[in-house]
Structures are given as structure tokens and as C-alpha cells.
Chains A and B, each alone.
Chain A
Amino acid sequence: MAASPLDQIDVRLTERLLAAALEGGADYADLYFEYAAGAHFGFEDGQVKSVGKGVTLGLGVRVLKGDSTGYAYTEELAEDRMLEAARTAGRIAASGAAPGPVALTRVSVLDLYKIKDAPWDRPGQEKVEMLREADRAARAYDPRIIRVEVGWGESQKDVLVVTSDGKIARDFQPMVRFSVGAVAEEDGKRQTGRSAGAARRGMELIKMEGQSPTDHGIEAARLAIAMLSAQEAPAGTMEVVLGPGESGILLHEAVGHGLEADFNRKKTSNYTDMIGKSVASPLCTVVDDGTLMNARGSINVDDEGNPGRRNVLIENGILAAYMQDRISSKHFGIAASGNGRRESFRHEPLPRMTNTLMMAGQDDPQDIIKSVKKGVYAKNFSGGQVNISNGDFVFSLTESYLIEDGKITAPLKGVNLIGNGPDVLRKVVMVGNDFELSPGTWTCGKDGQSVPVGIGNPTIKISEITVGGTKTS
């Protein structure tokens, strides 16, 4: 990012703001300055249909008194408005002695998202050409492709976190995404397919394997065409094999949310008080890793000023750790885990996932499929949801196939799987040696806040889970 308004923020000013935030007697305060700029291009019906861009700038002030949070923000970075926000947030503490001033120390942050070719320095015409390339590839794949939509988005976020316990951290967070949607039509029946990629990279995203505009165009078209012959999915419990990569959505829903420390501090998660206990099959080792180079969910530093980390959540089936933000780590008396994230300066930090993954196992993926007599092979996924308290979760399959006598056979219509977190993870009976990180555009929602995340998985077999199809025999 060339010139950022955050370059103007000097340390003396942040000290004055923190002092104002703490003057009512709070324990702790932090400042989150954010400057974000984004642009997008949309292509459909064979032409560039939409172009747009925008900028947001603001300051969020958070003040803590015990477990209570006061929060205020302003979009005007004039000192009087910032002081007003600091004092508003500080009202959470009605009395008491505030901590004295602490010398600010710059936090050394990771360097996980070097960009080779900054998109904001490239002409728009170059991006338009990528959109055209994907459109051509999708249409050329099969004459039954009747519609193609292509999108490119780029964003850059400059953040400055300053805390009253002396941390100062600056991070520059890029993100690019490319997506293609295709509609296929045959005999009056229509089907859709989608392919998308996102990463903390620049224009070089589209030079990565499988990520070129042509690759995404072909993949979206392939999926739409494949689904034209989809059959009704079965209903009931059966063996299910999840393909590698985006099936990590299972981890995100079945264990990820339940291991966010706020739910466990409040004892509202079904994983409460389970540290050290078995919560999954011994084949399962699950990590949340914010340190993968250029990955969508990676962070050099979290939004509370703590460096991103790799945290083992479940080790060989045993629950090892929760994901922490500041409030929860104080509550549990342990170190911050680099999971304090927020959507923007308008939002308070919460414990959030980064890239949530299961480590590869020993099995050959072909052997896993061969081991199934009658079941479902799940290849593409669109999203999921979990009820934290009882652990029930669902996730949606957009491409799946029947497995009959160890062979993948007929494609199935879109269907949901439903299960209960610990229950399903105990039924993981085979884990493939083919781990993949999904390159997709995953976004996680919690308490009305959206943050980019990554997911990854090897091929795994679940001995029994409910498949929500329509066919009951």
C-alpha cells in the first residue's frame, strides 16, 4: 500500500487516546485503526457489467473492565472525535484506578503474505482480460453452458493495533479472489456449477496451479454439466467418504466453532471442560494454523496485537486446546493463541478460526473408496452451520456421488449431511495420505461478523452419518 492515512497516526496521539479510554478506571484498552480499500469487477452475458471500488477508514476503541467490554468507533480521525469514542467506550468502567502509562513496544509480526504483483498497480484492462478468458473457457467446455458469470475482487487492509499493555502492531493484509459461475441447460433442465479461488496474494494468484481463469472456467462448467445427470440423493444414515480439501468444512463446523474459547469460558459449548479428554477418533489430529504462507485465513498478527500461530486443537483424538482471544486467555490464565479477530473497526474482537485443518493419515484414498459397499462420496461443498450448544451441525454438498461396491457411480443432487460434532469425529475410521488445503473463498460468520478463513482435509471416511436426500428405500 503506497500512502496510507495510518502513516499519520503518531504514538503520542495513541497514548492520549488510551489515557482517555482508561480515565474512568478500566483495566485495559486497545485501539484498532483500519484503512481498507477494495475494488471489484463483474462479468456476465459476455461483457463487463459492473465495476466498483471503495474505501473505509476508521478507529475502533475497546475498553475492558473484568470480562465486560465497552466499544465505540468513529469514521472521522479528527482528535476530538477519536477522544469522544475513547471516552464513550471507557464508560464501561464507572470507577476504580486505571493502570498507569506503559511504554509501547512494537510487536514483531510474521511476514506471511508477500505479494509479487500488486493488483492495485495493474491496469483494469488486465483484469477484464482475465474475466474474458474464464468466460471463453467455460463456454468452450460444452455447448450446453448457457450462462457464465465471472468476478474478480481485490482488497488491501492496513491495520494498526495499539494496546494499553504496551503492544503496537501494524499489518498490511491483502486479499484477491476470482470466481466463476456457470449454468448448463439440457431438455429444459438447468444446473449450476461454481469454482473460485482466494488467497492473500496479488495477481500471481492466477498463475498458481489450478487457479488460472481457464482452470476456474472449465471447473465451473464441468460441475454444471456433471450435475445435469444428477439423481435423487438417498436419505438416512450410511458410510460417507469426504474428498480432500474443502471437506475441511466438516472440521470448521463439527469442532472448530465449539473450540472457540468464548463458548467454553461461558460453558455453553458441548466441548466445555473436555481438555485432555477424547473427543474424536485417535486418527484425528486437528490444527488451526494462521501461519500458512499466503493462505486466505492466515494472519501475521491478530486484531489484538498477537502474532498468528499454529495451534494443535485435537491431537490423536484428545482435545488439546481452545482458540483464545484476550478476554478468554485471561480467564483461563494461559497465553493468547493469535485467534482474536474482528471484521472491521466497527467490531469487537472474538476468538475466531484462521485455517482449520486435519493432518494427513496413512490410508490410500483409493482404498478408502474401495472399502465402502454402499455410501456417498462428497467432492464439492458450499457451506455449513453448527449449533454450538448441542453440537449438531450441517453442511451442504454441491457435488457428490453414490459409492456402490467400492466404486464411484451416479452423481447426486445437492444434499445436506447432518451430524453431531463429537459423535461424527469418533466415527472417522480412515484418514487419507492426501491432505489438501482448499483454495476456495471461505468466509466464516459469527455474531454478525464475517472473517476470511481457510479449511483443509485429507480424504476421510465416516462410518455413519445422516445423508439428507429425498430417496427413502
Chain B
Amino acid sequence: MSAERRLPDPAACQRAAEQMLNYAMQAGADGAEVLVRDGAELELRLRLGETELIKEAGSRALGLRVLKDQRPAVTYTSDFTEEGLRQLARETVELASLAEADPFALLPDREIMARDIPELNLWDDEVPKLTVQDALDWTRRAEAAALARDKRITNSEGASFSRTVGATAFASSAGFSGGYRGTYASLSVQPIADDVDGKKRNGSWWTGGRFFARLDSPESVGQTAADRTLAQLGSQKVATCQVPVIFAPEAGRSLVGKLVGVTSGSAVWRKSTYLADREGTDIASALITLVDDPLLPGAPGSRPFDAEGLASRPNVIVDGGVLRTFLCDTYSARKLGRASTGSAGRGIGGGPHVSTTNLILRPGKTSKEGLEQVDEGFYITHLMGFGFNGTTGDFSQGASGFWIKNGVRVFPVSEVTISSSFDSLWKNVDALGDDLDTRSSVQVPSFRVSQMTIAGR
């Protein structure tokens, strides 16, 4: 199942998708969409030099969505036998009769389906060749570098290496069939240090990407992880106050994810976003430009077509603080009387939904040091918990990071919360960093919010 296992093959997935599409139409569907995913994973976890886990497996599954008299039904299976697929097709068409006719539940119009499948450079031949030995070597080097960094690093939650290779194919009776494949590899390390009060402090760092050669070295990942852990020694709570807050990219990323959630077409027609009536208006500081770009070559979130077979295209969601568009799949677009933005995503077990690909908060011009030029402020490296209501825009989360006085980090902070309305958080962004973090499918620079409430002592 490792080296000798066949590679996930988009062409084979596409054949299976087309076959299922035929069965569904033969079973009486008015329209159908089939998604097939085939993947192989290798995961290795090592702790204090000893292997904790080696996991290797391949997995293949198929998701079917049918429409019958404007009634949708969704099913999934991992049984690819002809009889299994035929039976699922029949059952799915029957199941659709339990839904009720929904005039908006239609496949996309035939003329807007993707024609070409752009080559996005998502595959690295080196990744499937990586062996257990390679993973062992990388985790060992990374963890050793962390442990050797400082004698106050006393323990480790371990180092973890994983690689996935996968193929995706999609076929729609609206007139599309295509497939693509991709690779991804990542390494993370989590060292632990003992603090004076008996508490333990953990920090972590990671590298990841579609191309093995572009990952950071295991040594640099381990050292950064150790430095981040050590920096938290002596963490304290601060008194309740209102100060400027700077979000490091690893903390700001989740805020950008929440922002795009409240600009999604599906939240808009459901009225479950405070931005439902705000298209074309200022929803953030003029510094904020937010783009979703599925066509970035080699990027983690890129895809050549969306989960309904529409051509991928970049969308500017927020431009200089102005909300330009709600991201839409076909259903939410029809509900809002507009065209899909090609933003449909889909899992095997569910129908299409609005999703993002490479979500990018465009970087600004301020240096990292420049962002921290405040008399007193809170630099946040980590957010915790849920604490966000998209309908109202109320926002409150646990936070940790560093206290800043006169532009200098003076001590680490933990066990406090930050809160604000989400609307004022984004409107109060007064500086944007030049340090875009491109490791993941949400790419964010550091940014500063002029004032938030910190609840602490």
C-alpha cells in the first residue's frame, strides 16, 4: 500500500464518475452530479526520538447528487462494484421523492460549464516517492533541533510528518467531466517547556506545501517551534483594558476565515450574516482587500474547476474595504438572482456549498516592527474557542501572545479574551503588514486593529 501501491489516477476516477452518471440518468434522474475522490496517505508521528505512529492507507469514495422533479438527494459509497453503483443510483432517485420541489434546485446552465481544465501545477512527483524512512528522518531531525535548542525545552508532544496524494474527478449531466490530481506534504513540531509555576508551555511550528523541495528544512522548523515555546515562559494575565491589538498571520488567518463566512451567498439568503444588506458598502478599513484565487499555480487551495463543473476564476470579495461580491455556488446565486462565482465546494457525503480556494488578504507596506509601534498593545499569536456569531457579528475569543510597551514586547500573555463587534474589528484595521504567510490556503499578513477589549484580571 505504500510504494508499490498504484497512484491515484484522475482518469480512472473520471471513468467511474461518468459510469455512475450514466447509471443515475438510466435510473430516471433529470440531472445528476458525481464526485469521485481517490487518495493515499502516509502519516508518521515521532516523540522523543521514538516512533509513535505510522499510518498508511488508500481510500476511494464516490458522492452522488441527483435531481428529480426539482427534488435533490445526496448519497455516497465506497463500493465501486457495478451492482453496488447501479443500486445506489436507483436508491438515490427514490430518495429524492422525499424532498419537496425547489425551483432553485437546478444544475448550472449548460452554456456556463467549464470548457478547459487549466494546468495549475498541483503535482510533485517527489511526494508519492517519500517513504516511511524519509518521514522518520524528517521528524527526527526536526524534533532533535527543537530539543537541542535550549535546555529549558524539557519535553515534546512530538513531530509529525504527513503526505497525501489524491485525485478528484467530477462529472455532471449539465455537460462536464474532468479530473485532476495533487500532492501535499507537511511537517510540524510541538516542543514543551516547564514554567516556574508548574505549568507547561507549548508552542508549535510547521511547514507544508505541494512541493517537497519547497518545504522549510526540518532543523529550521524545530528551532522556530522551540523559540516560540520558550517565548511563552512566564506568561501572565493582564488587567482588563482597551488597547490596540496586532494579529500575527497564524492568528489572523482564522479571522479572515470568519470574514469570508459572513460574505458567503448562502449566509446572505439565509439572513444569517450581519453583512446581508451591505454589498457595495464599506465593511472594513480601506487597507483591506480580500481575494479568493483558485488559479494560483502550485498553491495549496488551487483547483481547475469548482464542485459543480464551473470554470475556476479569481473573485475580489473586498476591495479597499468595500464589499464587492458575495461568493456563490449555483443554488445561493439563484436564490439571490445572480450568477455563480464558481465557488462551489463539496465533500463526498454532502451537496455543493460555498467554499473558498486560496483566500488571500493582500499584504500592506508596514514592516512587522512597524506594526508593533504602539505605546501599549497586545500582539496575538494564538486564538482559542468559538465565540463568533455571524448573524450578529458578536466576537469574543480566548487569546495569547505578548504584551507590548513603547514598541517592545515586554512579557508573554495568556488566559485573556479579546472582544469587539466583528464589524468594528475590520473597520478599525489601521496597519497592514508586508509579511504574507503563503503556507496554507488562507494567506494572511500581520495586521493591527486600533482598539479591542481585553478581559483579564
Binding site for B on A (CB under 8 A): 41, 44, 47-58, 66-75, 84-85, 88, 91-92, 124-125, 128, 146-147, 149, 183, 185, 189-192, 233, 235-237, 266-270, 346, 348, 382-385, 387-396, 398, 413-416, 418-420, 466-472
5 A–B contacts from the bound complex (CB under 8 Å)? A48-B99, A51-B96, A54-B349, A385-B385, A394-B397
Q: Are B415 and A53 in contact (CB under 8 A)?
A: no
Q: Are A67 and B387 in contact (CB under 8 A)?
A: no
Q: A72-B1, A382-B386, A396-B385 are in contact. Are A50 and B351 (CB under 8 A)?
A: yes
Of all chain B residues, the one with the shortest Cβ separation from A395 is B385
Of all chain A residues, the one with the shortest Cβ separation from B60 is A75
Q: A268-B192, A416-B397 are in contact. Are A125 and B453 (CB under 8 A)?
A: no
Q: A49-B102, A416-B396, A472-B242 are in contact. Are A146 and B271 (CB under 8 A)?
A: yes
Q: Are B398 and A392 in contact (CB under 8 A)?
A: yes
Option from A48, A57, A471 in Cβ contact (under 8 Å) with B78 = A57
Q: Are A69 and B74 in contact (CB under 8 A)?
A: no
Q: A389-B201, A418-B416 are in contact. Are A472 and B387 (CB under 8 A)?
A: no
Of the listed residues A41, A75, A146, the one surrounded by the most CB atoms of chain B closer than 10 A to its CB is: A75
Interface SS of chain A: helix, strand, loop or mixed? strand
* Contact partners of B446 in chain A: CB under 8 A: none
| A17 → chain B closest CB, angstroms | 15
| B186 → chain A closest CB, angstroms | 13
Query: Which are the 5 A-B pairs with shortest beta-carbon distances?
Result: A468-B417, A394-B385, A394-B398, A235-B455, A54-B76
Q: A183-B272, A268-B202 are in contact. Are A392 and B384 (CB under 8 A)?
A: yes
* Contact partners of A393 in chain B: CB under 8 A: 384, 398
Is B148 located at the chain interface by the 8 A CB criterion? no
Option from B99, B202, B387 in Cβ contact (under 8 Å) with A394 = B387
Residues of B in contact, count (CB < 8 Å): 78
| B455 → chain A closest CB, angstroms | 4
Q: Are B155 and A466 in contact (CB under 8 A)?
A: no
Q: A125-B98, A394-B387 are in contact. Are A472 and B240 (CB under 8 A)?
A: yes
Of all chain A residues, the one with the shortest Cβ separation from B418 is A468
- Binary A-proximity of B368-396 (CB < 8 A = 1, otherwise 0): 00000000000000001111010110101
Is B117 located at the chain interface by the 8 A CB criterion? no
Give bound CA distance, A146 to B274, whole Å: 15
Of all chain A residues, the one with the shortest Cβ separation from B392 is A191
Give bound CA distance, A66 to B310, whole Å: 51
Of all chain B residues, the one with the shortest Cβ separation from A390 is B199
Give bound CA distance, A49 to B2, whole Å: 42
Q: Are A267 and B418 in contact (CB under 8 A)?
A: no
Q: Are A385 and B201 in contact (CB under 8 A)?
A: no
Q: Are B99 and A183 in contact (CB under 8 A)?
A: no
Q: Are B415 and A69 in contact (CB under 8 A)?
A: no
Q: Are A346 and B59 in contact (CB under 8 A)?
A: yes
* Contact partners of B420 in chain A: CB under 8 A: 470
Is B125 located at the chain interface by the 8 A CB criterion? no
Of the 9-residue stretches B46-54, B255-263, B311-319, which lies at the interface with chain A?
Answer: B46-54
Is B30 located at the chain interface by the 8 A CB criterion? no
Of all chain A residues, the one with the shortest Cβ separation from B84 is A55
- B residues 440-456 with Cβ under 8 Å of A? 453-456
Q: Are B389 and A50 in contact (CB under 8 A)?
A: no
- B residues 1-55 with Cβ under 8 Å of A? 1-2, 47, 50-55
Q: Are B241 and A387 in contact (CB under 8 A)?
A: no
Of the listed residues B387, B421, B454, the one surrounded by the most CB atoms of chain A closer than 10 A to its CB is: B387
Q: A92-B51, A268-B155 are in contact. Are A191 and B391 (CB under 8 A)?
A: yes
Q: Are A52 and B98 in contact (CB under 8 A)?
A: no
- B residues 47-91 with Cβ under 8 Å of A? 47, 50-61, 72-79, 91
* Contact partners of A413 in chain B: CB under 8 A: 392, 394
Give bound CA distance, A210 to B315, whole Å: 46
| A66 → chain B closest CB, angstroms | 8
- B residues 392-446 with Cβ under 8 Å of A? 392, 394, 396-398, 400, 414-421
Of the listed residues B57, B95, B349, the one surrounded by the most CB atoms of chain A closer than 10 A to its CB is: B57
Option from B51, B199, B417 in Cβ contact (under 8 Å) with A418 = B417
* Contact partners of A191 in chain B: CB under 8 A: 391-392
